[in-house]
Each structure stands twice: as structure tokens, then as C-alpha cells.
Amino acid sequence: MTIFDNYLEDDYFCTVSLFFNSDLYCLICRPPFYKKWEKVILHYSSLRDAVSFCNGEKLCTLYKNGKLGIIQIIPEISTCLSPITPPTDPTAMYRKRLLVSWQNHLFLVQHKLGSVLEIWKADFKTQQFKRIFNLDKFIIFISQGFSVAVSSSALEEKNCVYFTQGNDNHILFALHIGDQSLSTTERFRIHTSHNSIPLLERLGTTKNQGSRKGDDKVKKRSSSEHSNTSEPVVVDSNICDHLTLDLQREISRHLLSQDAYLYMNFRLVCKLWRSVAPPLRWKVVDQPTRSSDQDSMWLLTLNQKDGLCTFYNPFRNLTCYMSNNDLVGFEIRYSKDGWLLVSRGPRSLFLLEPSSKQIIHLPERTDDYFCDAMSFSASPSNSSAWVIFGIACLDSHRVRISYLRAGDDNWTSMRMDNEVPFIVFSSPVYFGEKFCVVGRHGDVGAFGFLEDGNPYWVIHQISLLYSPRISSPLSQYLVQRDQDVLYSVIMTRDHNVGVYELDFRDNRVKLVKEVKNWLLFISEASSIAVCGMNVNLDDALLFPSFSTSNDYVYYSLEAAAFKVLKDNSIDIRQQKELLNRVWIRCELRN
């Protein structure tokens, strides 16, 4: 049952609406007399959410199939379907899919099975939803069965969505939708009364906001990662006349060694400086030398708005920027061997080799649906028999699998039953001639092809073999160490990390206490295991995580704790994880 209080603009009367699970109607009690409950027939029984907007004159309903409904409250009750189609896959599973109203505007919040949380604004004039990356003077709270937007002028809260996960109402997460960073927060207190939804209360008062202006810097990376500006640097117009050409070249090389963002601004000053400072290029590392190890691993971010690629090297604390207009609107789905699998919209997919800007246009999918996770078996430069694989959960008992083999003109899609309840919880990894994907409780689903070419889907039921048992993990990852070893990496909600070696043949799960000279680079889209890097770091897992002081932190298996990379001190403070990032092995050159 959901209750909505709609405060009308003039008389401050309250309209109460009751919605019931799986019923085809709702009940509405209206002012000014509140004499009766009026029964309103809904268009569909599978109601997901409802919210009031337009000063309480209307209710908007969201159904499981993705349709929007409008219930007009004033002057008379009437119903209709909205002409606006939400940007949602009606058959896919979502962690959250809610409606939020703010100052007569309607917003759709979608949280897919990954960590990505999208916010869409309804435009009833153009009859379209537009994705937004900035919340102007308000923040959003989401809990089970309830969502609300409230005003906020605090810099620490700007652009954030706050929510709880699953049945755990004790940990509050903050997702910054601008840079897609996820962290826990104690800025608000969660109150959960008996038989009620969790309520949130801001800690502290607004009088302290002015004294915390300096803390605003915490939200930004010290290496200027979040700055995407391309404005020229203002300099003396005659400065080129006072410096020799060789000295200007030395300046450009020095800037490149310190911060590629400054190097790019240097190139924007004038044509002469563009000629002495060649544009940046990146090259895939096939057989890196030990001297180039610490320069070969980068955390890649792709800005969908302008195609700006941001590379962060944790070992040098260096951020580089390169713009590629061909990547506007692209979203990275997977990375392997220097190639990226990227998508644009629900149907278009491409294989991209960024160093040469080679793009392989894949056949478009015929249906508008979203794959929860995608992968490919090998890069086109390493194999002519690559396979692209995508999976989506229809419910806990069925999955929808799509694949495309090299040379195919069309995608093959099928629905397959799960032997046991299974929800995708990681990106797939191609291991042992099959695609493996871990489920919420530790079971591993495997998709491959039999000798006769027919596909199969099987679930390795190993969840009971974990010790300790997996209970409500925050995130899980699969990492292929080599041809024979597959790791499962599990992070709990209190940020403890466990590494397990999976053996499907003997049906064993072994807790790994050390990985010796291997480094595991972990990200949501794909993960990489690298051996023998010359970085004076062993038994380490490198997530896209930073401390509240914006220092890069890694997880040490030996210490069983997160450490600050620059001084190896144990970090016990609140952390934030950057989402929508992917590790890639390449060399940046000018």
C-alpha cells in the first residue's frame, strides 16, 4: 500500500491515494469534504510506482511493462496513458525503477543490475525523456516503497542520490550522478520504525555550511580528473617572442611528464605551440618492458557528451585527457586486449581499437532491450573466431542470452531456464571456452557451445562451498588469472574483500590468502590480472577507489585492509568508488 500526500497550491488540502499490490484499481479520497473513497481503474495490474505532480492535480503511475499512466485529480478524476515512453526495457530486471517529482517536474530513476543509476527528466512538450547529469538545487532519496526530492544548497550534498541496498537499511549510499562515484555516508541518519518505511534526517545544521567551503575540494580529484574544460589558457600575447623554439619544446615535454591536462591546454594557446606539442596518442601494450610497467595500466573514463577520454594512472597519480568526437554517445561495456566493446543506444554495438581508431560496426540488434552484462571472447586482432556475449535476467528463473559470432549477419537471442534461482552480479569472463558470470549468492552461470555447435547454459552450484557464506555482497567480480585459474572477488558492505579460486571440475572453492606477484585490476565492466609489474606492490587488488582526501587506495590481501598507495598507510576513512570506469593496458605517447 502506498500513500501520497498532495498539497494543493492554494488551499493546502491533502489528497490521499491508496494503491494495492496486483490489483487493477486504486482508491482516492479528495478534498474539500473527504466524504468517500473513489475507485479508479488502472490500465495494468503490475504497478511499479506512483507519484503526484503538478501541485497535486495529477498522479503519474509507472507499470512494470514500462508504460506511464496519468490520473487527473482536479477538477474530475480521469485516467489515460501518457504519450511519453520511458527509456526502459520492459523485460529486464532493475534494482530500482521509481518516479520522483520536483517543482512540477517528473523524473524517472532507474537502477540497473550494475551500479549505474540513471535519472531521466520527462518533457511533456517534446514527449520525450532526457537523461540528466546535474540536479539543480535538489537531492533525491530512495528507499523501499518511497522516494522523495528535497531542496539542498549544501555543496557536500550537491548532485547526489541517496539510497539503501536490499533489506539492509542501516547503510546509506550516496551516488554522485555527475562523476558517477559511489560512497557510503553518515550525513543523514536512517530512522526505521516498526511496520514503516525508513526515514532520513540530515545530521548537522545549515549554519555549518559556510565553514565547510574548503571541504568542497574533497569532491574533486587533485589531478583535475573531473575537469573537462577546453578553454585556452590566457597568456601574454608576446610570450612566444621571448622564448626559443627549443625551450618551448622542452616546456611541452615537461608538461606532458607532469600532467597531460596542462599539456593539452598548452597546445590550445596558439598554432606555434600546437606545432611544437604533437597531439597525444595511445598504443596497446602487447609485450611491455619492465620499465614501462607502471605507465601501461590506466583507468579509462569515457564522457558520453563530448567523447573525452580520461586516463588515470594510479602509480604516477597522473591524469591524461584525449578527445575523440567519434566516441560521442558511446558507453563502454567491456574491455579486453586493448579493444573496447561499446554501445550507442539500445541497438547499436561496436568493437573499437582506440590506438588506431579502428571501429568494427556490428549488426544492429532487432529488439530494444538492455543486456545486464556483456563480454567478448577475444579481440579481433588476436582471433578471427571471436564471439560477443550478452545476458539479461528476465527474473530469477530465466535469462535472455544474445550472442554474435564473427561473420554472423544477425544476433542470435534465446530465453533459457535456470536450474536454480540466479541473478547476474558481474561482467562475464571468457574462461575455458565458455562465458562465465557470477550470481548474487556465488553460483556461476556458464554459456558455451557443444561440439555440434548448439549452445548450452548451465549453472555451477557452488554457493554453499564458500566459507564464510556469501550474504548480501556489495559487489562481485570474476578475474581470469591465466588459462587455468579463475578468481571470484567479493566485496562486502563493510568493504572487506575476499578472493576465491574456483575449480569447476572438482567442484571446489578455495579462499586465496595471497596472489604473490600478481596484481588484480578490478572494475565493474571488466577486470585484468597482470603478473610481474615493476611497481613494488604485491598481493594487491586495485579498484577504482579513492579516499576522502582524493588519494588512490588499493586493497592489500596481506594487511586485509585498504591502503593509500602513495605512502602505504592503512586507510580507515570513508571511500568513494568511481563507476563506469574500465582498466585498459596501453601506452600514452605524443
Which regions of 382-438 does DSSP assign to beta strands (E)?
A: 387-395, 398-405, 412-417, 429-430, 435-438
Distance CA 198, CA 164 (A): 9
491 and 524 Cβ atoms separated by less than 8 Å: no
- What residues contact 570, with CB distance under 8 A and at least 6 apart? 559, 561, 562, 563, 564
300 and 314 Cβ atoms separated by less than 8 Å: no
Distance CA 56, CA 13 (A): 9
CA nearest neighbour of 308 among 319, 330, 324: 324
CB half-sphere exposure, 42, CA atoms < 13 A: 28
CA nearest neighbour of 470 among 505, 496, 446: 496
Q: Is residue 443 part of a domain?
A: no
Distance CA 17, CA 366 (A): 40
89 and 346 Cβ atoms separated by less than 8 Å: yes
DSSP 512: E
Q: Is residue 196 part of a domain?
A: yes
What are 60-102's pLDDT values in tens digits?
A: 988 877 789 999 888 888 989 888 888 876 656 677 788 999 8
- Give the number of other CB atoms < 10 A from CB of residue 424: 22
Which amino acid, residue 16? V
- Specify the DSSP element, H or E, that contains 262: helix 260-267
- Give the number of other CB atoms < 10 A from CB of residue 572: 10
- What residues contact 505, with CB distance under 8 A and at least 6 apart? none
Q: Is residue 138 part of a domain?
A: yes
Per-residue confidence (pLDDT) for residue 236, from 0 to 100? 46
Report pTM. 0.73
Residue with cell 562515484: 181
Per-residue confidence (pLDDT) for residue 90, from 0 to 100? 63
Q: Is residue 41 part of a domain?
A: yes
Share the mean pLDDT of the chain: 79
CATH of the domain at 163: 2.120.10
378 and 395 Cβ atoms separated by less than 8 Å: no
- What residues contact 113, with CB distance under 8 A and at least 6 apart? 93, 94, 95, 372, 373, 393, 423, 424, 425
Per-residue confidence (pLDDT) for residue 242, from 0 to 100? 60
Give how many domains the chain has, as a whole number: 1
- Residue 33's alpha-carbon distances to 3, 10, 37, 315, 477, in angstroms, are 19, 16, 11, 69, 57
Q: Is residue 577 part of a domain?
A: no
Q: Is residue 76 part of a domain?
A: yes
Residue 194 lies in domain: 2-219
Q: Is residue 168 part of a domain?
A: yes
What are 467-525's pLDDT values in tens digits?
A: 888 877 888 999 999 889 999 999 887 778 999 999 999 999 999 999 888 999 999 88
Per-residue confidence (pLDDT) for residue 107, from 0 to 100? 93
Share of residues in the chain with pLDDT > 90 (%): 26
Distance CA 443, CA 438 (A): 6
pLDDT, average across residues 331-341? 90
Per-residue confidence (pLDDT) for residue 91, from 0 to 100? 59
Q: Is residue 182 part of a domain?
A: yes
Is it the case that residue 216 has pLDDT exceeding 60?
A: no
> Is the peptide bond prior to 32 cis by the omega test (within 30 degrees of 0)?
yes
Distance CA 460, CA 509 (A): 11
What are 32-69's pLDDT values in tens digits?
A: 777 788 888 887 768 888 888 887 788 898 887 778 99
